[in-house]
Amino acid sequence: MCEERECLTFVRDCVLMSPTHGECAEVLPVNKGELVESIASGANLSKTDAESALNAFISSVQSAVADGDKVTLPGFGTFAPSARKARTGMNPQTREPIQIAASKTVKFTVGSDFKKRVNGS
């Protein structure tokens, strides 16, 4: 049903994997609807329940990280808040220095099981 190809991506019916990171003309990004379908079929849920579960997961992770907490999903990865210091940058058009304000961002660190699966180990 699923044949091996030259890229890693989720394409409707299967996960296509390869140990290389080469470019692939057949790469199709996964959209939310396709992810919901996959969750629904994998967990024997209706699409409505699967979408509700996905939305609840996303909301929970966003809230936790926004509150300064780290969210760790063993085997998958870790979402963690990170702070960027204020710094001096450069306006690319005028080459004048500009001040870039401090900001917050989110970092995702891939879990070891996920990394092994991507690398084909």
Q: State residue 28's pLDDT score.
A: 73
In a domain, 83, yes or no: yes
In a domain, 24, yes or no: no
Q: State residue 56's pLDDT score.
A: 96
- Both tokens of 120, joined, read 């084909």
Q: State residue 27's pLDDT score.
A: 63
What is the mean pLDDT of the segment spanning 80-97? 95
In a domain, 121, yes or no: yes
* Per-residue pLDDT tens over the stretch 48-87: 999 999 999 999 999 999 999 999 999 999 999 999 999 9
Q: Which domain holds residue 90?
A: 70-121
8 Å CB contact between 34 and 14: no
Q: State residue 92's pLDDT score.
A: 94
Structurally, the chain folds into a number of domains equal to 1
Cα–Cα distance, 113 to 121 (Å, whole number) = 9
In a domain, 78, yes or no: yes
* Per-residue pLDDT tens over the stretch 8-22: 444 444 444 444 545
Q: State residue 121's pLDDT score.
A: 75
* Per-residue pLDDT tens over the stretch 97-116: 999 999 999 999 999 999 99
CATH number of the CATH domain containing 98 = 4.10.520.10
- Both tokens of 4, joined, read 């091996």
In a domain, 118, yes or no: yes
In a domain, 41, yes or no: no
pTM of the full predicted structure? 0.67
In a domain, 8, yes or no: no
* Per-residue pLDDT tens over the stretch 23-41: 544 567 889 999 999 999 9
Helix 47-66 / helix 32-42 crossing angle, nearest 10 deg: 110
In a domain, 88, yes or no: yes
